[in-house]
Chain A
Amino acid sequence: MRITCPHCGERDRREFYYRGAAVDLDRPAPDAGEKAWDSFVYLHDNPAGETRDLWYHEGGCGAWLVVTRNTVTHAVLKTELASQARS
């Protein structure tokens, strides 16, 4: 598996640390209520198909990335800096 870092170019998977679904970028407000927080912390999707993950380029430039990939075909479809995906 190869991931294209916006800074470093195409790199081997070993350089990256996997964090999890990119829902972390949409963290509820502190006062959003129990339902929103319960959903944020526990109720994650587990899609067969396209998913967005957070990966950290630990053995590289140190950027957090949002990687869009397909869990069925293993294709990596898109990578972007988390700082930009969020804004």
Chain B
Amino acid sequence: MVELLATSPCEGLLPLCIGQVTLREEEVGHLTSLAPYRGQSDALSQTLHSAHGVAFPAPNRVTGKAGARAIWFGRDQALLMGPEPDQSLRAHAAIADLSDGWAAVRLEGDGAEDVLARLVPVDLRREHFKRGHTIRSQIFHLNASISRVDDNGFVMLVFRSMAASLVHDLKTAMEGVAARG
């Protein structure tokens, strides 16, 4: 009988600590795509709030906190991060389990903004990109979701198959920032 062991997307690649910046894998729990049916956005938001305590996020915003977050994930789409999705959501939205499909990492520390400035074509400095803000953009060549979840911390998601590239690109940028002292 073969014993199968689950491995996380960044198994063997993280954590990394370079200069003042750390990169580690984020424990995200369930990942669920929520795509409201036409005209059902308000109803979905109410149901989401009763079931999980979070509202459906406006574009470029995150609602909730660690354990249950809803991250705006694109046009008419949010990612529920944490809880197993309540069945009541199905009345208002197309629901898809993406749990094993995405790699999630957290970049933290003084200089995290400088690391991302080397890779992301959007201004992520605190004055423009505050806690609770999120974007869909690119990390070097990888399509990504980037959220500021703490004053000094970013959670980023890319397709799971890109996990090694993500770590490689972030590591290179972290080394570049650290080398400048």
Chain A proximity of B41: nearest CB distance (Å): 14
Query: Are A8 and B135 in contact, CB atoms less than 8 angstroms apart?
Result: yes
Cα(A57)–Cα(B59), bound, Å: 14
Query: Are A60 and B136 in contact, CB atoms less than 8 angstroms apart?
Result: yes
Of residues B74, B135, B136, which shows the largest number of chain A Cβ atoms within 10 Å of its Cβ? B136
Residues in B neighbouring A15, C-beta threshold 8 A: 121, 137-138
Query: Are A7 and B121 in contact, CB atoms less than 8 angstroms apart?
Result: no
Given A7-B59, A15-B121, do A61 and B138 touch, yes or no (CB 8 Å)?
no
Q: How many residues of A contact B (CB 8 A)?
A: 14
Cα(A61)–Cα(B136), bound, Å: 6
Query: Are B59 and A8 in contact, CB atoms less than 8 angstroms apart?
Result: yes
Residues in B neighbouring A63, C-beta threshold 8 A: 74-75
Chain A residues touching B, majority SS: loop
Cα(A57)–Cα(B75), bound, Å: 10
Interface pairs (10), CB distance under 8 Å: A7-B75, A11-B121, A59-B136, A59-B137, A59-B138, A61-B136, A62-B74, A62-B75, A62-B136, A63-B75
Q: Which A residues are within 8 Å of any B CB, using their own CB?
A: 7-9, 11-12, 14-15, 57-63
Of residues A7, A9, A11, A14, which shows the largest number of chain B Cβ atoms within 10 Å of its Cβ? A7
Q: Considering only CB atoms, which chain B residue lies closest to A10 in the complex? A: B122
Query: Are A7 and B143 in contact, CB atoms less than 8 angstroms apart?
Result: no
Chain A proximity of B36: nearest CB distance (Å): 14
Chain A proximity of B112: nearest CB distance (Å): 21
Chain B proximity of A38: nearest CB distance (Å): 34
Residues in A neighbouring B60, C-beta threshold 8 A: 7-9
Cα(A78)–Cα(B138), bound, Å: 23
